[in-house]
């Protein structure tokens, strides 16, 4: 999570370290940041702006991860959905495989109070409700996890939970 007061580009401390591992292989933070900045340029060219609510869907792969971070790079509120039909009351619907590489764009400064993620509850007691999580809430959760569990530079998180729920999405933010 990039906070307003952070002057350093995300991943700059360890650009060659492994950021993610998928069936396609490993990707470094430097490569991930480059792909995210280019995907953000493509999304910006399609009209995605800071504060827009974007229903985002696709298979859980590296393209999904890049697009997810690219939406955040632009300051969009991400509403991960299983299928495009699950999207309602959003400004854009984006499929992870539809994002091409565009021109690099700089990242938005994120206010800790800004809405960042819009998730549907499980609906176990009735109709699923949409819950908005702020940058500050996601940052606090990731930080608390690192403080409680510890963090080593070679640690890896296994994301085997659906990315449309907080369990899966929070792993993406922790990493």
- The pLDDT tens digits of the residues spanning 140-161 come to 998 898 889 888 777 888 888 8
C-alpha angle with apex 93: 89 to 98, nearest 5 degrees? 175
Residue 87's pLDDT is 83
Q: Is the separation of the CB atoms in 117 and 169 below 8 Å?
A: yes
User: Binning pLDDT at 50, 70 and 90, where does residue 5 land?
Assistant: very low
User: Binning pLDDT at 50, 70 and 90, where does residue 9 land?
Assistant: low
How far the first Cα of the chain sits from its last, in Å, is 10
Q: For residue range 12-62, list pLDDT tens digits in order.
A: 788 998 999 988 899 999 999 999 999 999 999 999 999 999 999 999 999
* 172 SS3 class: helix
- Read off φ and ψ for residue 30, nearest 5 degrees: -60, -45
Residue 101's pLDDT is 94
Average pLDDT, the chain: 88
Chain Cα centroid distance, residue 66? 8
**5: which 2 tokens?**
């007061």
Residue 170's pLDDT is 86
Counts of helices then strands in the chain (DSSP H, E): 4, 7
Residue 161's pLDDT is 83
User: What pTM does this model have?
Assistant: 0.87
DSSP element (H, E) containing 41: helix 29-45
């Amino acid at each position: 999570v990039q906070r307003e007061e952070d002057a350093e580009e995300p991943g700059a401390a360890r650009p060659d370290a492994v950021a993610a591992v998928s069936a396609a292989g490993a990707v470094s933070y430097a490569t991930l940041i480059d792909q995210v900045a280019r995907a953000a340029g493509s999304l910006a060219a399609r009209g995605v702006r800071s504060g827009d609510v974007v229903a985002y869907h696709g298979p859980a792969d590296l393209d999904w991860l890049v697009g997810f971070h690219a939406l955040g790079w632009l300051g969009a509120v991400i509403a991960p959905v299983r299928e495009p039909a699950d999207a309602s009351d959003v400004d854009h619907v984006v499929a992870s495989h539809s994002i091409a590489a565009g021109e690099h764009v700089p990242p938005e400064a994120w206010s800790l109070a800004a809405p960042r993620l819009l998730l549907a509850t499980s609906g176990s007691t009735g109709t699923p409700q949409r819950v908005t999580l702020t940058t500050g809430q996601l940052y606090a959760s990731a930080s608390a996890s690192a403080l409680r569990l510890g963090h080593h530079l070679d640690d890896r998180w296994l994301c085997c939970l659906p990315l449309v729920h907080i369990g899966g999405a929070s792993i993406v933010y922790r990493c």
